[in-house]
């Protein structure tokens, strides 16, 4: 960020410097605040997440993913937005959730990573933000 700011200063792009600083600030804030715990419920009518309810016809499929040691359930939607619902499982048993969803949705065992996911994995591997 500092290098970009210096280059923008040399080209007298002061407004763009403010935009870069604000984006870095937003990224820092989003990375430092832990996510809120949501309440969700799976029923025979659909999935309720906080105040939103998705009936089974609106959902496409589901799969599980382990990201940074956190197990998550991904529910694909037919609609473009939100496109995918991501629910953290916490201490829930993955098999129990899978057995509850199988009568209503198809299960995908393997999900091919997209270009953005591959790029993000490469960036986190080569440029870690945290010291472990």
pLDDT digits (tens, 9 = 90+) for 19-39: 999 999 998 888 888 777 788
Percent of the chain with pLDDT over 70: 98
pLDDT digits (tens, 9 = 90+) for 67-94: 778 899 999 999 988 889 988 888 889 9
Quickly list DSSP for 40-92. Answer: EEE-SSEEEETTEEEEGGGEEEEEEEEETTEEEEEEEESSSSS-EEEEE-TT-
SS3 of 36, please?
coil
Which tokens is 101 given? 């969803």
Are residues 53 and 42 in contact, defined by beta-carbon separation less than 8 angstroms?
A: no
Domains detected in the chain: 2-31 (no CATH), 40-109 (2.40.50)
């Amino acid at each position: 960020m500092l290098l970009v700011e210096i280059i923008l200063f040399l080209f007298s792009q002061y407004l763009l410097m403010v935009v870069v600083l604000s984006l870095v600030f937003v990224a820092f804030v989003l990375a430092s605040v832990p996510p809120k715990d949501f309440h969700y419920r799976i029923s025979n009518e659909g999935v309720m997440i906080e105040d939103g309810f998705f009936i089974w016809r609106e959902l496409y499929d589901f799969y599980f993913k382990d990201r940074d040691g956190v197990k998550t359930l991904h529910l694909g939607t037919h609609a473009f937005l939100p496109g995918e619902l991501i629910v953290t499982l916490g201490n829930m048993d993955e098999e129990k959730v899978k057995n509850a969803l199988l009568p209503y949705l198809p299960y995908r065992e393997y999900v091919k990573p997209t270009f953005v996911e591959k790029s993000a994995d490469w960036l986190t591997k080569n440029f870690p933000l945290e010291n472990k």
